[in-house]
Amino acid sequence: MKKICNFCGNKNFKETRVQYIYKHDGKMLIVDDVPCEQCEFCGEQYFKGEVLKKIENDYSEVYSARRKAKSQVLVPMEQFV
């Protein structure tokens, strides 16, 4: 069965690694080098379930202090008015 992009209908994908931002309860975890399939036309990204589960588990470990993150960044925030 041929894959079709749910966003644009394109049939061409490439295997790549991207940065993924996981957000939950007002907290974030930025994960680099996450494997995904990306639509070559519109850039829509598709992740395997086990990849997303690992990111979710990593988030839980970091925020429960069972594991320290490799690094941290300070991100300024603004409200759009």
Q: What is the pLDDT of residues 12-29, one digit of tens each?
A: 999 999 999 999 999 999
The mean pLDDT of the chain is: 95
Q: Mean pLDDT, to the nearest integer, of 64-77?
A: 92
Distances (CA, A) of 51 to 16, 21, 76, 77, 80: 13, 13, 28, 28, 33
Whole-prediction pTM:
0.86
Give pLDDT, residue 32: 97
Using the predicted structure, report yes or no on whether residue 1 has a pLDDT greater than 70.
Answer: no
CB-CB contact of 36 with 16 (8 Å):
yes
- Least Cα distance to 60 among 33, 35, 30, 29 occurs for 29
Closest C-alpha to 21, from 63, 46, 52: 52
The answer to whether residues 36 and 17 touch, using CB atoms and an 8 Å cutoff, is yes
Read off the pLDDT of residues 39-61 as tens digits, 9 standing for 90 and up. Answer: 999 999 999 999 999 999 999 99
